[in-house]
Chain A
Amino acid sequence: MTGLAHIDGLVVLAIVAKALGYSAALLAMGGVLFAAVFSQRAEASVLRLARQLAVGAALVGLAVLAVRFGIRAARISGMGIEGATDAMMLGFVWESPLGTAAIWRGLGEVAILALLIPRFGQWIAMAGTVAVAISFAQVGHALGEPRAALAVLLVLHLLAAAFWVGALVPLYKAARDPAGAELLHHFGNVAAFGVAIVIFAGTSLAWLLSGSVTALLGTAYGLALLLKVAIVAVLLCFAAFNKMRLVPALRTKKSGAIRALQRSISLEMLAVTVILLATAIITSVTAPPVNL
């Protein structure tokens, strides 16, 4: 297999931590976006859940960030897990692009905690959301050329994905509320644009990083990316089914509509988990064809 790195226990740990970091970042950003976009339409309890989710995810994100620093230090040290607390190794990680990304990510996640402050807190949290998205453009192959295009596409991809991922839990709750059907219907309309952005930005990134279609088939990066896209396609099918069938059924108060929609949203969450794990594997142990 071309372009696949050596995998050992620490690498597996790094992948799991990275996937957890992705989940925390997307949920934190998504909770802020949900509370902002649906502030007029969602019930107070649903908005409160979105904010709690964002704050909780931001706290988890900060903890994961610290753990990932240790894992990275251990990986480069060659000392095994003991390297995780070695001051010199941690210094090397801090000096690397991961240090820059950690500043953006850390400040962003702290800013998201401002959701706890009434009124203007949400504006600080919104700035934090953008900072978290920008943090992802500070590391890895996003630093390649054309850098500006890669950065803008990645930030758009993440904000749109976060909007979707962060909405799942609040929408799960809203499905039970009397006014939930209208919120879900409205979400479906807004999310259609979000999905278009996710796909456009994701495809553009894949094209810039792969260079050719044949490169996708012959490399570890390409195959893992195709797997990710396949799961995204399944997720889109669920989303489309929700929008076309289940939400209209909820609006007409069909029996069993609430349960069917909640089950479908649960499956979406499962698909998202697999997608984030696949993404963590891709960005940890495979290299884009243009970098081979």
Chain B
Amino acid sequence: MIKQTLLGLAVVVAPALAFAHSKSEATTPANGATVTEVPELSMRFDDPMRIISVTLTSPDGDVEIERETGMDPSTEFRALPLEELAPGSYRFDWRGMASDGHPMQGSFSFTVAE
């Protein structure tokens, strides 16, 4: 019963924005941007963030990326695509933990044009 209520609440407020700490101040590529090439994927945070899992997905499935930033808390995260990204839309998702212990997650999307 409680679960249903909470899930109902979740549905009502579905277009939920990211959490306060997940103010990933800036990302490369920028969220919603159309770019011709993606030499790197990066995010900057206003407070050190321990980024634990990252995924880059295209309509064809997961795309392999290599993390340059390890799992230690950092205000800057960098990863590189293993291969040149083909034209199409991409979404980068991450999960982690803020310095106050809150579980965090966020995402940004971009399009690669010819």
- Residues of chain A touching chain B, judged by Cβ–Cβ distance below 8 Å, are 1-8, 11-12, 14-16, 72, 75-79, 89, 92-93, 96-98, 101, 139-141, 143, 220, 277, 281, 285, 287-288, 291-292
Contacts and interface: CB of A to CB of B under 8 A. Distances in A.
A76 B17 contact: no
B101 interface: yes
Given A6-B16, A79-B53, A292-B20, A140 B6 contact: no
B21 A7 contact: no
A254 to B, nearest CB: 36
Given A7-B10, A98-B101, A287 B96 contact: no
23 contacts: A4-B13, A4-B17, A5-B18, A7-B13, A12-B7, A15-B6, A16-B3, A16-B6, A76-B52, A76-B95, A77-B52, A78-B52, A78-B105, A79-B53, A93-B97, A96-B97, A96-B100, A140-B101, A143-B100, A220-B13, A281-B6, A288-B20, A291-B20
Given A1-B16, A98-B101, A139-B100, A12 B6 contact: yes
A14 B55 CA distance: 23
Given A78-B52, A78-B53, A12 B10 contact: yes
A282 to B, nearest CB: 12
A139 B13 contact: no
Contact of B100 (A2, A92, A140): A140
Interface in B69-113: 71, 95-97, 99-105
Nearest to B3: A12
Given A4-B13, A7-B10, A141 B52 contact: no
A220 B53 CA distance: 27
B21 A291 contact: yes
Interface in B1-52: 2-3, 6-7, 9-10, 13, 16-21, 50, 52
